[in-house]
C-alpha cells in the first residue's frame, strides 16, 4: 500500500507517519503469523471427572461460548455424550491466531476513529467495521482462516481511513450529519425549500436543520464536538470559522425552537462555541450542556464544572455544574437539577429475548417525568430511541437484535432535565428455537406393578425444568433423574424445558400402574378419629385393620414420600396390627399388601393425627354465686367432646351442646363438668353456688357519740349470713326531733355495717334498719 502524506505542518506529518507505520507493522506481523497458527495441529485434552465442557473450553480457548464449535469439530452430537476420559481436539493455536488478528483490527479501527475517520473517511472506516464484524461472526462458526482474512482486510481499511483523516483534519471542513433517526430535514443557503438529510451529509454555514416528531439527529464538528438535536427542533448553524495561523475556531448555533444537547471536545483547538437564543446572550466555557427554546421561554442546564453565563435584558446569572435556569416572563429562575436516577432493569450486560424490550428505573418523588435515551454505541452517537416526558418509571421499546446502551434523566417541575444516570448496556436477542430435551426413561406406554417410576433425561444447561408442573432440578451438565409416585391406573409423565428466551420443549410418556390383584383392606371402625383422620394422644398410633389376604402375607406401610416406615405380616384371621408415628399435623400413610409373587395386590390410604388438645367447655351464662332459687339452668357447648359428665353422671349432648336443670341443696353446692374426646383428652370445669333461704341475722346495734357530745354520731350494726352481706344497707334514725335516712356500708368478711353522721344535739334513736344478703333475703330491725 502506498501512503501519501499531504502538505501539512511538520508535526502533523510526523505523527501521521508514526501511526500509519505502526499499524501497518501490526498488520504485517499478523499476516506473517497466519500459516503457523492456522495450520498447527489440534491440541488433545482429556475430559476429567467433574470437568464441564464450558470450563475446559474457557480454560484452553479463553471463551467458554465456543463449546458448540468444539462439539462440532469432535463430531459429538450432544453434551449428553460427554463422559470422563473422552479426548477432545481443541483448536488452541487457531483461536490464538484469529484473536490476534481481531485485536489488531480493533486497535486500528479505534485509532482511526479517534482521529476523526468517522467524519472524514466514513466509507473506509465503515468497510473496516463491516469486515471486522464479519470476522467476529466467522469466529462463532469456527472458521479461523476466514476470521484472519476478514480481520486483515478490516485493518487495511482502518489504516486507509486513518491516512485520510489525518490529512483532512488539518484542512478547513464543514460539519457532518453523523446520525439520523426518523425524519430529519435541512435547508442550505442556496436551497429554496427543505429536503431530507441523511447520515454523512455535509453541513455548511447558515444551513438550517429541523427534526420532526419522534426524530433526532446528531451534528458532529471538525473537532468531534457533538450536538444532538431532539424531536420537533429547529436550529441554524450560523458560523463555522477557523484561523489557519492559530488553529482557533469559532462555531455559533442558533436555536429557533425545540432543544439540543451539546457535548464539546474540550481537548481540541476549538476556542469558542456560541449559543444564539432570541433575546438571550450566552458565554460558555462548558463542554456539556442542554438548551431549549419554545413559546414559554428559554431553558438552560449545565452539566460541566465550567460555567455558562446567561444575560437577558441586562440581568445575568452564571450556571455552575448541575445547575439550570428558566428564562420566562417573570425573569430568570435558577435551580439545581435533579440527581441521576438508578437504573433497575435489565441488569448490566443483561439479555432480553422478547421482541419488546422493557427498561425500568427507580422512581423519583420530585420528578414530573423522565427523559430516556437508547443508543447502539456507548458514546450515544447513534441514537435508537430518545423519549422525552415519560410519566412512568419504565418504558417498552421494540428493538431489533443488537447490543444497546441506555440512560435516563429525571425532569423537574420546571421542565429541566437532571443529571444523566450512569449508562448501562443490554443485548436484545430474538431466539425462537426450542431447547434440546430428551426423555430416556420411562419408555412409551409402560405398564408397572409398583407405585413409582424413575424419570431420566437431559436438556440444555441453562434451561429451567418442570415435571408435571413442579420444578425439577438438573445437574450441571443438563442431565436429570428423579422418582415419581404413581396412582393406580394411567399416569402422565410430562417434562417441560424452558430456555432464557421463553421457548419451551415438552416430552411426555404414559405410565400405567396396574396392581397384580385386588386385596380389600378395612380399618377397625373402633379406632378413635378426629374428622377423617385416625387420632391418638401419644406420639405413636396403634392401627388395627382387616384384610382378605392370605395368612402370613407381607404388608408394609409407606409415608407420603414413599418411604417404608413399618413392615408386618397378615395374621391367621386376616388381621393387621402395626404402629405408625403421629404428629400434631395430619400425616398420610398407605398400607400395601403384597401377593405371593411380590407384587402389591392391595392398598389403602389413611391419615393420622396426634391430638393432645382437650375439648373446650363454654357456658352460655355462669351459675349464680348465691341464690334463693332451689333450681337453676345451666347450658353451653363442649366442643369436640364425645362424652360429658356432671359430678360423674353422664350428660346428654346434641352436636356438642348441653342443657341441664340443677337442683340446689341449702348451703354450698359444688358441681364439676368433665368433657372427654375420642382419644381420652379430658377438660374439667368446676363451679359452685350457695342456696341461701335464711335472712341475715342482726347480732348487735350500736348508735352513739363515741367522742362525746360535740363529736360525730356513729351507727354500727353487727350481722352474719351464709351468702354474705350486700355492701349497702338502708337505715332511718332520729336525732332529737330530726329524722335522718341513709345507707350504711357493709363488710361481708367482718360482718359489720357502719356509717357516721355530723355532730347534732338531741336524743339518739334507731327507727329502721334493713340488712340484705346476696341471695336476696332481708332482715329488718
State the pLDDT confidence band at 4, using cuts at 50, 70 and 90. very low
Q: Is 137 helix (H, G, I), strand (E, B) or coil?
A: helix
Q: How do residues 405-414 score in pLDDT, each as one tens digit?
A: 999 999 999 9
Shortest CA distance to 753 belongs to which of 712, 697, 693, 690?
Answer: 697
State yes or no: cis peptide before 346, omega within 30 of 0: yes
3-state secondary structure of 354: coil
Judged by average pLDDT, the poorest of 33-47, 309-323, 428-442, 675-689 is 33-47
CA atoms of 605 and 592, how far apart (whole Å): 9
At the top level of CATH, which class does the domain 521-610 belong to?
A: mainly beta
**pLDDT at residue 241 in the model:** 64
Tens digits of per-residue pLDDT, 109-163? 999 888 778 887 889 999 999 999 998 888 888 888 998 999 999 999 999 998 8
Q: Mapping DSSP to helix (H, G, I), strand (E, B) and coil, where does residue 214 land?
A: coil
Q: What is the tens place of the pLDDT at every residue in 532-559?
A: 899 999 999 999 999 988 899 899 999 9
Distance CA(587)–CA(541), nearest Å, equals 12
- What does 693-759 look like in DSSP terms, one character per residue? -SPPEEEEEEEE-TT-TTS-EEEEEEEE-SS-B-SEEEEEEEETTEEEEEEEEEETTTTEEEEEE--
> What pLDDT score was predicted for residue 284?
83
> pLDDT value at position 10?
31
Q: Looking up cell 435515551, which residue turns up?
A: 373
Domain 618-691 belongs to what architecture? Sandwich (2.60)
pLDDT in tens, 246-294: 455 677 888 889 898 888 875 454 467 788 888 888 888 888 999 999 8
pLDDT tier, 597 (very low <50, low <70, confident <90, very high otherwise): low
User: What pLDDT score was predicted for residue 462?
Assistant: 86
Among candidates 116, 114, 137, 117, which has minimal Cα distance to 127?
Answer: 117
Query: Is the pLDDT confidence value at 16 over 60?
Result: no
Question: Rounded mean pLDDT of 588-593?
Answer: 94
Cβ-based neighbour number of residue 605 at 10 Å: 11
pLDDT digits (tens, 9 = 90+) for 469-502: 999 999 999 999 999 999 988 999 999 999 888 8
Residues 343-428: name the CATH superfamily. Answer: Immunoglobulins (2.60.40.10)
CB atoms within 10 A of CB 316: 12
Three cell numbers at 428? Answer: 436484545
* E strand segments, 188-307: 195-196, 202-203, 207-211, 216-220, 226-229, 234-242, 249-263, 270-276, 281-284, 288-294, 297-302
CATH annotation of 175-336 = 2.60.120.1440
When pLDDT is averaged across residues 162-185 and rounded to a whole number, the result is: 78
Provide the 3-class DSSP secondary structure of residue 34: helix
Q: What is the mean pLDDT of the chain?
A: 86
pLDDT at 501: 81
Burial class of residue 124 in the structure, from the number of CB atoms within 10 Å of its CB (0-12 exposed, 13-18 middle, 19+ buried) = buried
Lowest mean pLDDT among 5-14, 174-183, 214-223: 5-14
pLDDT given for residue 11 in this prediction: 31
Q: Give the confidence band of 591 by pLDDT, cuts at 50, 70, 90.
A: very high
Take residue 343 and report the three cell numbers written for it: 437504573
Q: Which pLDDT does position 24 carry in this prediction?
A: 43
Q: Is the pLDDT of residue 18 over 60?
A: no
Helix H segments across 39-64? 53-61
Helix (H, G, I), strand (E, B) or coil at 598: coil
pLDDT band at 331 (very low <50, low <70, confident <90, very high): confident
Peptide bond preceding 450 in cis form (omega within 30 of 0): no
pLDDT at res. 246: 43
Indicate the SS3 state at residue 363: coil
How many angstroms separate the Cα of 165 from the Cα of each of 26, 199, 377, 778? 19, 18, 21, 123
Least confident range from 125-139, 294-308, 513-527: namely: 513-527
Cα separation of 113 and 125, whole Å?
Answer: 8
- Whole-number pLDDT of residue 249: 66
694 pLDDT above the threshold of 90: no
User: Which strand (E) or helix (H) includes residue 167?
Assistant: helix 144-168
**Residue 701 corresponds to which cell in the numbers above?**
346495734
Homologous superfamily of the 437-513 domain (CATH): Immunoglobulins (2.60.40.10)
Taking residues 1-24, report their average pLDDT.
35
Which pLDDT score is estimated for 7? 31
For residue 36, what pLDDT is reported? 65
Decide: 287 and 263 in contact? Cβ < 8 Å: yes
Distances (CA, A) of 134 to 137, 154, 542: 5, 9, 77
Of 387-391, 513-517, 669-673, give the lowest mean pLDDT range.
513-517
Topology of the domain comprising 697-780 = Immunoglobulin-like (2.60.40)
Asked if 429 contacts 65 with a C-beta cutoff of 8 angstroms, the reply is no
Region 227-250: what's the mean pLDDT? 73
pLDDT band of residue 596 (cuts 50, 70, 90) is low
Please tell me the distance from the alpha carbon of residue 91 to that of residue 69, in angstroms, as a whole number. Answer: 10
The 10s digit of each residue's pLDDT in 423-465 is 999 998 887 788 899 999 998 988 787 889 999 999 988 889 9
Give me 496's grid cell. Answer: 417441560
Q: How far are the Cα atoms of 113, 504, 651 from residue 413, in angstroms, in the given order?
A: 40, 47, 78
pLDDT at 19 over 60: no
Q: To the nearest whole percent, how much of the chain has pLDDT over 90?
A: 43
590 contacts 608 by C-beta, under 8 angstroms: no
Amino acid at each position: 500500500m502506498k501512503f501519501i502524506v499531504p502538505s501539512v505542518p511538520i508535526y502533523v506529518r510526523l505523527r501521521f507517519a508514526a501511526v500509519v507505520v505502526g499499524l501497518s507493522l501490526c498488520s504485517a506481523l499478523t499476516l506473517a503469523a497466519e500459516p503457523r497458527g492456522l495450520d498447527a495441529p489440534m491440541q488433545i485434552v482429556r475430559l476429567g471427572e467433574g470437568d464441564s465442557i464450558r470450563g475446559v473450553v474457557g480454560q484452553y480457548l479463553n471463551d467458554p461460548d465456543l463449546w458448540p464449535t468444539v462439539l462440532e469439530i469432535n463430531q459429538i452430537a450432544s453434551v449428553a455424550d460427554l463422559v470422563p476420559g473422552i479426548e477432545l481436539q481443541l483448536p488452541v493455536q487457531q483461536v490464538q491466531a484469529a484473536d490476534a488478528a481481531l485485536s489488531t483490527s480493533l486497535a486500528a479501527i479505534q485509532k482511526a476513529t479517534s482521529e476523526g475517520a468517522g467524519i472524514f473517511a466514513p466509507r473506509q472506516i465503515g468497510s473496516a467495521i463491516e469486515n471486522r464484524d464479519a470476522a467476529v461472526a466467522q469466529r462463532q462458526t469456527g472458521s479461523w482462516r476466514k476470521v484472519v482474512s476478514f480481520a486483515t482486510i478490516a485493518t487495511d481499511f482502518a489504516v486507509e481511513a486513518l491516512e485520510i483523516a489525518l490529512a483532512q483534519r488539518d484542512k478547513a471542513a464543514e460539519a457532518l450529519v453523523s446520525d439520523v433517526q426518523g425524519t430529519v430535514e435541512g435547508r442550505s443557503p442556496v436551497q429554496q425549500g427543505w429536503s431530507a438529510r441523511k447520515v454523512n451529509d455535509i453541513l455548511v454555514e447558515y444551513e438550517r436543520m429541523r427534526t420532526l416528531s419522534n426524530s433526532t439527529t446528531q451534528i458532529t464538528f471538525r473537532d468531534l464536538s457533538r450536538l444532538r438535536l431532539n424531536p420537533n427542533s429547529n436550529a441554524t448553524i450560523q458560523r463555522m470559522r477557523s484561523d489557519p495561523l492559530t488553529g482557533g475556531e469559532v462555531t455559533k448555533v442558533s436555536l429557533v425552537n425545540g432543544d439540543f444537547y451539546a457535548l464539546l471536545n474540550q481537548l481540541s483547538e476549538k476556542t469558542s462555541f456560541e449559543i444564539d437564543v432570541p433575546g438571550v446572550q450566552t458565554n460558555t466555557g462548558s463542554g456539556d450542556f442542554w438548551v431549549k427554546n419554545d413559546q414559554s421561554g428559554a431553558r438552560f442546564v449545565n452539566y460541566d464544572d465550567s460555567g455558562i453565563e446567561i444575560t437577558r435584558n441586562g440581568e445575568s446569572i452564571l450556571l455552575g455544574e448541575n445547575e439550570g435556569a428558566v428564562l420566562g416572563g417573570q425573569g430568570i429562575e435558577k435551580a439545581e437539577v435533579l440527581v441521576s436516577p438508578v437504573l433497575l432493569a435489565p441488569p448490566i450486560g443483561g439479555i432480553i429475548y422478547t421482541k419488546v424490550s422493557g427498561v425500568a428505573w427507580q422512581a423519583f418523588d420530585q420528578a414530573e417525568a423522565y427523559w430516556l435515551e437508547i443508543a447502539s454505541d456507548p458514546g450515544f452517537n447513534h441514537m435508537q430511541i430518545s423519549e422525552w416526558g415519560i410519566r412512568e418509571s419504565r418504558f417498552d421499546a421494540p428493538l431489533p437484535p443488537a447490543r444497546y446502551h441506555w440512560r435516563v434523566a429525571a425532569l423537574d417541575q420546571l421542565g429541566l432535565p437532571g443529571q444523566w444516570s450512569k449508562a448501562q448496556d443490554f443485548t436484545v436477542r430474538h431466539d425462537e428455537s426450542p431447547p434440546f430435551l430428551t426423555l430416556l426413561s420411562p419408555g412409551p406406554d409402560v405398564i408397572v406393578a409398583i407405585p413409582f417410576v424413575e424419570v431420566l433425561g437431559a436438556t440444555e444447561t441453562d434451561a429451567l425444568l418442570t415435571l408435571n408442573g413442579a420444578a425439577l432440578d438438573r445437574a450441571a451438565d443438563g442431565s436429570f433423574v428423579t422418582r415419581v409416585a404413581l396412582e393406580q391406573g394411567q399416569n402422565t409423565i410430562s417434562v417441560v424445558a424452558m430456555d432464557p428466551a421463553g421457548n419451551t420443549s415438552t416430552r411426555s410418556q404414559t405410565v400405567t400402574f396396574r396392581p397384580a390383584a385386588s386385596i380389600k383392606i378395612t380399618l377397625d371402625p373402633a379406632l378413635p378419629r378426629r374428622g377423617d383422620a385416625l387420632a391418638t394422644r401419644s406420639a405413636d398410633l396403634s392401627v388395627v385393620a382387616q384384610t382378605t389376604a392370605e395368612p402370613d402375607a407381607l404388608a408394609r406401610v409407606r409415608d407420603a414420600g414413599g418411604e417404608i416406615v413399618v413392615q408386618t405380616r397378615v395374621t391367621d384371621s386376616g388381621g393387621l396390627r402395626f404402629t405408625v408415628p403421629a404428629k400434631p399435623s395430619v400425616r398420610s400413610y398407605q398400607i400395601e399388601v403384597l401377593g405371593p409373587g411380590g407384587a402389591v395386590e392391595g392398598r389403602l390410604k389413611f391419615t393420622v393425627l396426634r391430638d393432645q388438645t382437650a375439648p373446650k367447655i363454654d357456658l352460655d351464662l355462669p351459675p349464680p354465686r348465691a341464690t334463693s332459687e332451689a333450681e337453676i339452668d345451666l347450658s353451653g357447648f363442649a366442643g369436640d367432646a364425645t362424652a360429658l359428665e356432671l359430678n360423674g353422671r353422664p350428660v346428654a349432648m346434641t352436636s356438642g351442646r348441653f342443657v341441664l336443670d340443677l337442683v340446689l341443696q341449702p348451703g354450698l353446692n359444688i358441681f364439676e363438668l368433665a368433657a372427654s374426646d375420642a382419644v381420652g383428652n379430658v377438660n374439667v370445669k368446676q363451679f359452685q353456688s350457695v342456696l341461701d333461704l335464711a335472712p341475715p341475722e342482726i347480732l348487735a346495734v350500736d348508735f352513739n357519740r363515741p367522742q362525746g357530745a360535740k363529736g360525730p354520731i356513729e351507727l354500727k350494726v353487727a350481722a352474719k349470713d351464709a351468702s354474705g352481706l350486700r355492701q349497702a344497707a338502708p337505715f332511718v334514725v332520729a336525732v332529737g326531733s330530726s329524722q335522718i335516712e341513709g345507707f350504711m356500708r357493709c363488710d361481708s368478711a367482718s360482718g359489720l355495717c357502719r356509717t357516721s353522721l355530723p355532730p347534732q344535739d338531741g336524743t339518739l334513736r334507731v327507727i329502721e334498719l334493713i340488712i340484705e344478703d346476696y341471695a336476696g333475703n332481708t332482715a329488718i330491725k
